[in-house]
């Protein structure tokens, strides 16, 4: 479990495209826990009846120890988290924060790295680009947005020492200026790594194309900010072995909710199977994985499940709870 911190919002910077860049620091100015590229923060959003945890990737230089910086898109189609951040994030406000945690680590031994960010998915790529530059490694950053007018972080990138490694792609420009995977993906190689973050459709397109071209699944790294997930299905039983309880998970229910009603609490944050907070060990049974967090190897192993969204292929799951 990551330690809980109470951090003060020191700066709010309005970026194009309904994105805000937020800087957090300790009130006393003391150093923050170290971070690595790809790390994120869990931020608690509490406002009246609102009580949510949401995850945001760090976009700041990881060598800085005095502050953390994130970017947040205001998305009216979200479940309320982004709207709450834009409303609550005023300089001087104190937020409850957990982390940093990193489920999207950078392979620093790669001979060549390609970073592909779509929209707000650029945030972890900024920290990765800075780190790769500091190491003197070969990399290219492809940044895709709808148009130049809604492209956030352009001033930050323009001031970076690695700005010549960035290729911008805008949807409203001629086809040759847009991202072309046949042209822009490197040939598959054991020491070439790809990193992908952005909207689900954008990510699925790149991941599927890269793997079809021969890139190893282990070399195609991905982090989903959100995902469309169907949590419904046939009823099944879950046995919480250490607690000695058995519950029924109904067609519209989830494992986490069914267990919580019986008094067995699993910590849940994203509720979409993207953050990994609710991963639980499976002792018996066959999971029906609905998440975007576990790797294909972890899914095939069948010993873990994201309890916020996944279900069971077998009639019963026995969990280590």
CATH of 112-224, one of 3.30.9.10, 3.40.50.80, 3.80.10.10, 3.30.70.1450: 3.40.50.80
Q: Which residues contact 287 (CB under 8 A, 6 or more apart)?
A: 299, 302, 304, 305, 310, 311, 312, 313, 317
* Out of 121-130, 286-295, 304-313, least confident range: 286-295
* pLDDT band, residue 244 (cuts 50/70/90): very high
What is the token pair recorded at 197? Answer: 């973050």
Contact 181, 101 (CB under 8 A): no
Q: What is the reported pLDDT for 275?
A: 84
Superfamily of domain 236-319: Beta-grasp domain (3.10.20.30)
Question: What confidence score (pLDDT) does residue 116 get?
Answer: 98
- For the chain, which residues make up each domain, given as ranges? 4-101, 112-224, 236-319
pLDDT average, residue stretch 268-272: 81
pLDDT of res. 79:
67
CATH H superfamily, domain 4-101: Translation factors (2.40.30.10)
Render the burial of 258-283: b for 16+ CB within 10 Å, e for the rest. bbeeeebebebbbbbbbbbbbbbebe
Distance CA 132, CA 84 (A): 33
Sheet holding 220-224, edge to edge: 166-170, 138-145, 112-118, 192-198, 220-224
Tens-place pLDDT, residues 180-210? 999 999 999 999 999 999 999 999 999 999 9
Q: What is the pLDDT of residue 259?
A: 93
The CB-side HSE value for 85 (13 A sphere, CA atoms) comes to 30
**How many C-beta atoms surround the C-beta of residue 191 within 10 A?**
11
Distance CA 43, CA 136 (A): 33
Look at residue 228 and tell me whether its pLDDT is greater than 90.
no
Can you read off the two tokens belonging to residue 74?
A: 């205001």
In which band, very low, low, confident or very high, does the pLDDT at 1 lie, cut at 50, 70 and 90? very low
315 burial via Cβ count (<10 Å: 0-12, 13-18, 19+) = exposed
Reported confidence tier of residue 292, pLDDT bands at 50, 70, 90: confident
Task: Assess whether pLDDT exceeds 90 at residue 143.
Answer: yes
Q: What is the pLDDT of residue 268?
A: 85
Q: Does pLDDT of 274 surpass 90?
A: no
Examine the pLDDT at 226 and tell me if it is beyond 80.
no
Structure tokens, 204 = 């699925």
Mean pLDDT of 221-234: 86
């Amino acid at each position: 479990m990551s330690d809980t911190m109470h951090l003060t919002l020191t700066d709010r910077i309005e970026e194009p495209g309904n994105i805000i860049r937020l800087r957090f620091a300790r009130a006393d100015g003391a150093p923050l826990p170290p971070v690595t590229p790809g790390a994120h923060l869990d931020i608690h959003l509490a406002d009246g009846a609102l009580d949510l945890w949401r995850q945001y990737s760090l976009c700041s230089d990881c060598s800085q120890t005095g502050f953390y910086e994130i970017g947040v898109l205001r998305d009216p189609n979200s479940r309320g988290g982004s709207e709450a951040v834009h409303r609550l994030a005023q300089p001087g406000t104190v937020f409850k924060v957990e982390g940093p945690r990193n489920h999207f680590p950078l392979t620093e031994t790669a001979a060549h790295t390609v970073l592909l960010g779509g929209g707000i998915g650029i945030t972890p790529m900024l920290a990765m680009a800075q780190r790769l530059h500091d190491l003197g490694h070969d990399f290219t950053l492809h940044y895709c947005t709808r148009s130049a007018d809604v492209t956030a972080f352009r001033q930050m990138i323009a001031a970076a020492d690695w700005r010549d490694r960035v290729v911008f792609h805008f949807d409203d420009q001629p086809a040759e200026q847009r991202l072309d995977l046949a042209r822009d993906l490197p040939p598959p190689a054991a020491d070439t790594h790809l990193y992908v973050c952005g909207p689900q459709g954008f990510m699925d397109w790149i991941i599927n194309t890269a793997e079809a071209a021969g890139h190893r699944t282990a070399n195609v790294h991905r982090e989903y900010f959100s995902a469309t997930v169907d949590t419904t299905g046939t009823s099944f039983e879950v046995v919480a072995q250490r607690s000695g309880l058995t519950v029924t998970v109904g067609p519209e229910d989830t494992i986490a909710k069914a267990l919580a009603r019986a008094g067995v609490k699993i910590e849940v944050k994203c509720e979409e199977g993207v953050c990994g907070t609710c991963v639980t060990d499976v002792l018996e049974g066959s999971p029906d994985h609905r998440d975007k967090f576990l790797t294909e190897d972890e899914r095939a192993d069948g010993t873990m499940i994201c309890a916020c969204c996944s279900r069971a292929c077998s009639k019963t799951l026995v969990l280590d709870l």
